[in-house]
Amino acid sequence: MIRPRKLVTVSHSYVVTLNRRLANEMTRVGAGRWDVTAVAPRSFHGDLGPLVLQREPDEPAHIEGVRTFFSRSLHGFVYGPELRARLSGAELVHAWEEPYVFSGLEVALLTPRHVPLVFCTFQNLAKRYPPPFAQAERFVVRRAAGWVAWGQTVHDTLQARTGYAQRPSRFIPVGVDVEHFRPDPSAGRAFRERVGWTEEGPPVVGYLGRFVPEKGLRLLMNALDGLRTPWRALFVGGGPLEAELRAWASRHADRVRVVTGVSHAEVPRALNAMDVLCAPSQTTSFWKEQFGRMLTEGLACGVPVLASDSGEVPHTVGDGGQVLPEADVSAWTAALADLLESPAARQSWAVRGRERAVSRFAWPVVARAHLDFFDEVLQRGA
């Protein structure tokens, strides 16, 4: 009988149960071949306040909590001495930490020298890091037996960076729960009624995410202003542009809803309340879209997607939605008009989007891709 290989996966994100889906799915997919342990902080300073590790009784992966220090800084936090013991006995260590941050360096330093290390990264900009982060990145890349890019643009960008091309690598997308995020018209109707749309009306153009300039809210508002086709608009999220968005909404009476404070558990209902999901992200000197989780969630819910050509977005959307020039308001207005005027077109894109989500982004697919790559790394080492 073949003994399962011990995989230890480390991430500060694992403090949140939802973010342990990768570790849990690798356990399910790799049953009998892999024994998976997820190392998570016992507590962590999140964006909205302190986070405390909670374990669900039915999680298949082993969950081990460790102390963290200086967690107010994603670049500067470390796990501390408990991490060394958690890494002992591993046959492969997977670090879901960027290679240029202190925690990524710490995992590389504490992984036993004979054990392969694979790190993953979201960095799709060609950045120059100041000391000591530049030195940390170089060390981690040299130490690593392989790396995973969370996006095609990430992979393309880092291949040109010192040391990366000399290590085995794989582009693997972020997963989505296609059972939690699925077409559910009744949930959509309930969400619309909750925000005050109790009667049937024109199709709903939706946005989900942060209310910040780089997400393209101003472009979307201008595109909607240019429509002659009847429409309603639903903006779900929060951020510094909320006041500006509400001021614009006030000029459109009952046609616009701005909803904040929506939990992640409610997101499928919000998405199902939309007839079109728009992601008009705008590239800046310091940012471009790294993935677009709301896009995969929208595709999984069967919502037709219109998205800009910023960063990773075209690779995420693929043939499951329409990709538009990020700064062309008239193109957005025309694409919206076409979809709003054609229920048949919306249905066709809904089916294509759902098929892409299931075949490309479902968690079992993503987990299997990780384990296949880990097998490859171990075979190279052997």
The Cα 115–Cα 142 span in angstroms is 14
Q: Which helix (H) or strand (E) is 148 found in, with range?
A: strand 146-149
The Cα 149–Cα 156 span in angstroms is 9
Identify the structural domains of the chain with CATH numbers, from first to last: 5-175+362-381 (3.40.50.2000), 185-361 (3.40.50.2000)
Instruction: Name the burial class of residue 318, with classes exposed (0-12), middle (13-18) and buried (19+) by CB atoms within 10 angstroms of its CB.
Output: middle
How large is the angle between the packed helices 242-250 and 217-225, nearest 10 degrees? 10
Q: How far lies 325's CA from each of 98, 214, 239, 322, in Å?
A: 30, 14, 24, 10
pLDDT at residue number 285: 81
pLDDT at residue number 368: 97
Are 191 and 219 contacting, i.e. CB atoms less than 8 angstroms apart? no
Q: In the chain, count H helices and then E strands.
A: 14, 15
Give tens-digit pLDDT for 141-168: 999 999 999 989 999 999 999 999 999 9
pLDDT at residue number 286: 83
How crowded is residue 225: how many other Cβ atoms within 10 Å of its Cβ? 12
Give tens-digit pLDDT for 234-256: 999 999 999 999 999 999 989 99
Helix (H, G, I), strand (E, B) or coil at 119: strand
The b/e string for 120-134 (b: 16+ C-beta within 10 A; e otherwise) is bbebbeeeebeeebe
Give tens-digit pLDDT for 3-17: 899 999 999 999 989
pLDDT-flagged residues of the chain (< 70): 1, 47-48, 382
